[in-house]
Amino acid sequence: MRTARRASAVEVPSFLRQLARETERMVTFFFRAGVGGGSPRESGAEDDPDDDEDSMPSPYLDRPLLAKHTEEGGSRWGLNYAMANMQGWRAQMEDAHSCMPELHGELEEWGYFAVFDGHAGTTTAQYCAQNLLRQIMATGGIKTEEDPEKVKEGIREGFLAIDQHMHEVARRDNWDHSGSTATAVMISPRHVYFINCGDSRAFLCREGRVDFYTEDHKPNNPRERERIQNAGGSVTLSRVNGSLAVSRALGDFGFKEVDWRSQTEQLVSPEPEVYELERSEDDEFLVVACDGVWDAMSNEDLCAFVRSRMQVCDDLREVCTQVLDLCLYKGSLDNMSIIIISLPGAPQVSQEALQHEAELEQVIDVKVGEAIQLLQSRNEDPDLLYVIKFLTAEYIPGLPQGGGVTSKRDCVIASYQKHAAACKAQEPMETGGSEESNQSN
C-alpha cells in the first residue's frame, strides 16, 4: 500500500501571511465565518506593509466564498455518488468535473467520474470535462468484452488526442494559456481503472483503509525531472522552469512547443498514468478530489473521516460538504472539488454510530459550558477562541477520525451561542441584585 505524501507548497499573498502570523485571529475567523463573521481585515488583521509592493492582482479573495455546488446520482448496479465544490479563497473558480454513473448503450454497467483542476484560466478544465470521455470512447478500447490492457491504452490515447486537438484549436482561435490536471476513475463490472495526469488524486477504501491511490505528478519526481531536463527545461523551486507546479497536465501549451519532440517528451506531458484494480466485495468507496483537498488532508485522514461520516449520515452530498468545510478550516487556500462514489460494500448508517455521535455532542456541549464557567469565575466575558483552545486541550473521546474537534464546528458554535446567551441573560439579574444590596447598605 502506498503511503501519503506531504501537501504541495502554496504561494500565499501578503495579507494571508499576516493572517498566518496571527494564528489566533485566523482560527477565530474560521469558526465565526458561519455566524456572520467578517473578512480577515474586518476581524482585526492589520495591513501588511508588503501589500503596497504587490503590483499584480492577488489570486486570492479578502474572504472565502463558502457557497457550494452539489449534485448526486446513482446507477441500477448499486453505485451511488455525490459531488461538491467550493471556490474558497481563490479569486476564480477553475475546477470542473464530470460524473456519469452509467455510460451509454452496451456500457451502461460502466461508470466514469473525473475532476479537472484548472490553472491560469478555465477553458481547458471545462473543455475536458465536456469532451474527454468522448475522446476516450472514440478510441474503441472500451468494450463490453473487457480487455484491461486495451482499456488502459484507449484511455491513454484519448488523453493524447484531446490534448492534440486543443493545441490545434488554441493556435487557431487564440485560446487562453490555461491548463488542467485530470484525475478520474472508470468503473466496470470487474475492475476500477484509476486515471491520473497531474496532482489531483483518487483512492479506494477497501476493508476500512486506503487500499490504492494515484501518484501525484510533481516536477521533483526523479522520472518527471529527467523528462523535463531532456526537453531542455529545468526544475526550480519545485516548478517546471520555475513556473508550473505540476509536471503533467492537459493544456499548458506554452510548455509543449518543441515540434520535433513527441507529446509525451515535452516539458509538460499530457500522458496519464492508468492502473486497473480488480473489484472486490470488500470495496467500500472511492474518492476523487483536487489538490485543494489534499493540501489539507492526507489519504488516511480523509478515508477515516469519510468512513466515519457515512456511518451517521446517509446523504453523500452532506458528507462531501463536510469535507470541504473541514479542509477550509484546516487551511486550504485553493478551489476544492470532491466526488465520493459509494460502492455496494460501503458503510451504512447504524443506530450504534448515531448514539455515539449524540453522546459526543453532549460531551462537547458540557465542555463548552465548563469553558464559559471558567471565564465567568474570572469575571471575563464569553470568548469563542478561549473555548476552542479549551476543547483542543481536553480529551474528548469519540471525535471523528481524521477530523477532530475542528470537524464538529457547527456543534461547537451552537453550544457556544447557547451558553453565551445564558450568561448574558444572567447579567441584568446579577446587576440588579448588586444594586439592591447597595441600597440596603
Q: From first to last of the 441 residues of the chain, give the pLDDT tens digit.
A: 444 333 334 444 444 444 444 444 444 444 444 433 344 433 333 444 444 444 578 889 999 999 999 999 999 999 999 999 999 999 999 999 999 999 999 999 999 999 999 999 999 999 999 999 999 999 999 999 999 999 999 999 999 999 999 999 998 888 888 999 999 999 999 999 999 999 999 999 999 999 999 999 999 999 999 999 999 999 999 999 999 999 999 999 999 998 899 999 999 999 999 999 999 999 999 999 999 999 999 999 999 999 999 999 999 999 999 999 999 999 999 999 999 999 999 999 999 999 999 999 999 999 999 999 999 999 998 888 899 889 999 999 999 999 999 999 899 999 999 999 988 887 665 554 444 445 544
Domain edge (last residue) among 342, 361, 391: 342
Residue 169 counted as domain residue: yes
In contact, 182 and 195? CB cutoff 8 Å: yes
Res 27: pLDDT = 44
Mark out the alpha helices in 33-147 (DSSP H runs). Answer: 123-138
Per-residue cell: 387: 473555548
Residues 307 and 385 in one domain: no
The amino acid present at 4, given as its one-letter code, is: A
Helix, strand or coil, per DSSP, at residue 101: coil
Domain edge (last residue) among 289, 319, 342: 342
Residues 204 and 319 in one domain: yes
Residues 96 and 118 in one domain: yes
Residue 381 counted as domain residue: yes
Per-residue cell: 298: 492526507
Residue 16 counted as domain residue: no
Res 153: pLDDT = 98
Residue 403 counted as domain residue: yes
Residue 115 counted as domain residue: yes
- The number of distinct structural domains making up the chain is 2
Residues 146 and 294 in one domain: yes
Residues 134 and 211 in one domain: yes
Residues 270 and 168 in one domain: yes
Residues 333 and 367 in one domain: no
Q: What is the DSSP code (8-state) at residue 78?
A: S
Res 19: pLDDT = 40
Angle at 137 between CA 132 and CA 143, to 5 degrees: 145
Residues 305 and 367 in one domain: no
Residue 400 counted as domain residue: yes
Residue 42 counted as domain residue: no
Nearest-angstrom CA–CA distance, 20 and 267 = 34
Task: Kindly tell me the burial class for residue 207, based on how many C-beta atoms sit within 10 Å of its own C-beta (0-12, 13-18, 19 or more).
Answer: exposed
Residues 331 and 206 in one domain: yes
**Radius of gyration for the alpha carbons in the chain, expressed in angstroms and rounded:** 25
User: Residue 230's CB: how many other CB atoms inside 10 A?
Assistant: 11
Domain edge (last residue) among 283, 318, 342: 342
Residues 301 and 281 in one domain: yes
Residue 380 belongs to what domain range?
A: 351-429
Residues 180 and 236 in one domain: yes
Residue 438 counted as domain residue: no
Which CATH number do you get for residue 290? 3.60.40.10
User: Residue 104's CB: how many other CB atoms inside 10 A?
Assistant: 9
End-to-end Cα distance, the chain: 77
Which CATH number do you get for residue 376? 1.10.10.430
Residues 119 and 156 in one domain: yes
Res 183: pLDDT = 98
In contact, 294 and 301? CB cutoff 8 Å: no
Res 425: pLDDT = 81
Angle at 76 between CA 72 and CA 78, to 5 degrees: 75
